[in-house]
Structure 1
């Protein structure tokens, strides 16, 4: 989660990183490479995030939330990757800013789903849905 989150921020705050001489990917490798890295890291993140549904911290609620969040995150990363820099400059990095905001919701949503899974009624839901038969609890 961290690389796509901070690289999206770096796309629209690049001049600040350059002035401060912070070696963000946008400064060291350019915006085009950063866009590609955001997509690649997001693709790598998806199975890890979804995989948690099949561990002791996950369950059916987490899986449902994670499927939606990962689909949104993948689409957002793909849009950034395919987006021409001139277009991003023209609309003041609106897509990149939305992706950055989405990354915050992505993390919050996963943590919220983990909390829901930890509630007492989540065990009853897991039993009702026969989720226990497919998890590693």
Structure 2
């Protein structure tokens, strides 16, 4: 009986020693949103016609440019922000370019926007799997 008990203890010890708890850490960076409000005077005349405004966003780094996504929206009703449309938007004549640390918004209108413009920038976290 003593040998049988020792045998069971040995088997149980081996069984418990071979079990390993793996902790899986899901390390994700959440998406980030940046809101900019620009006055009519902020829009600079462009040499080729239209206007542009630069948005300084230190959050945009090389990882955002190469691997992640950047979405840009303009509020349909100024700072009330009850609705947004995504850029580029041919109907509203807006477009944009992204650089490290800033975004340049282009407006192809003949006169600069007359009201305060709310611009929402969403930085989408992503992992390059290629």
**Normalising by the residue count of structure 2, what TM-score does the alignment of the two structures yield?**
0.29
Q: Which one has a bigger Cα radius of gyration?
A: 2
The structure whose residues are more often helix, as a share, is 1
Name the one with the larger strand percent.
2
> Could you tell me the TM-score, scaled by structure 1's length?
0.28
